[in-house]
Amino acid sequence: MEHPLLTRHQRPARPQLEVLAGQMTLARGRVHELCGTARQTLATQVAACTQGPVIWIAPGWETDRLHGAGMCQHIDPGRLILCQPDRAEDLLWCMEEALRAGAVMLVVCTLPALPGLTAIRRLHLAAETGGKEGKTLPLGLILTPDSGGAPGVESRWQLDARHGPDQPDGDVRQVEGGSNWHLARLRARTAPPAHWDLTESQDADGRIRLVPSMQPQTRAPKRATPPAHMQPL
């Protein structure tokens, strides 16, 4: 009887953090990328789904800072531990150390530019180490400019505001009334690209929550145009 030389090893399922009613889930022990003009808003929505302190790392030289009065509409600002390094190279170092400690569930880092693959791998390893040696399995979020594109991330999400009727919508259906948003899953290891229209709601504490206003839309592949001699007359 012949036996295979290799067996398929089944990795244990990673704990998931549910952000949007099962439609946006983030694997803990990994690093995810948030981009788009409203990436900070999306990060606060993720933070609202966690418990305990949140470490938020941002460049110390930037003039745009987190505003407590605005943050309190989404989460309790008292949960935030702010870290503002003065050097760009210290941003990822601080995030790596925070993930490796495994002391908090969520670590957020605002980056002025895209990190390299090696840096992302180090962050993944640090998060896994934090889950083994710390008190909780952390989740890392990097906030990147424009449409993102950091290599090696577990998933990539883009959030943009769609508040006014004059906003360009492309193939996105506008939602009438209130503040509206457009969320896109640009990349994920276990799910296809998709996008949602979101609207605002309030939870029991009166804080803003983004909820889907329509079913997710997956991107359908474009049909190839047949050659001229095969087209019907």
What number of other Cβ atoms are within 10 A of residue 177's Cβ?
A: 7
pLDDT for position 211: 85
Question: Mean pLDDT in the chain?
Answer: 84
CB 205 within 8 A of CB 15: no
Mean pLDDT of the region 72-97: 93
Which 3-state string (H, E, C) describes 114-137?
Answer: CCCHHHHHHHHHHHHHHHHHCCCC
Burial 16-46 (b: 16+ CB within 10 A, else e): ebebbeebbbbbbbbbbbbbbebbbbbbbbb
pLDDT > 50? residue 157: yes
pLDDT for position 171: 38
Q: Which of 4-13, 162-171, 195-204 shows the highest mean pLDDT?
A: 195-204
Phi, psi of 164 (to 5 degrees): -95, 155
pLDDT for position 169: 44
- For the question of whether the overall pTM of this predicted structure is more than 0.85, the answer is no
Higher per-residue confidence, 2 vs 228: 2
pLDDT > 80? residue 10: no
Which is the CATH superfamily of the domain at 21-166+175-218? P-loop containing nucleotide triphosphate hydrolases (3.40.50.300)
pLDDT for position 80: 93
Cα 115 from Cα 50, distance rounded (Å)? 25
**In sequence order, what are the residues at sequence separation of 6 or more whose Cβ sits closer than 8 angstroms to the Cβ of residue 132?**
102
pLDDT > 90? residue 113: yes
Domain ranges of the chain: 21-166+175-218
CB 103 within 8 A of CB 134: yes
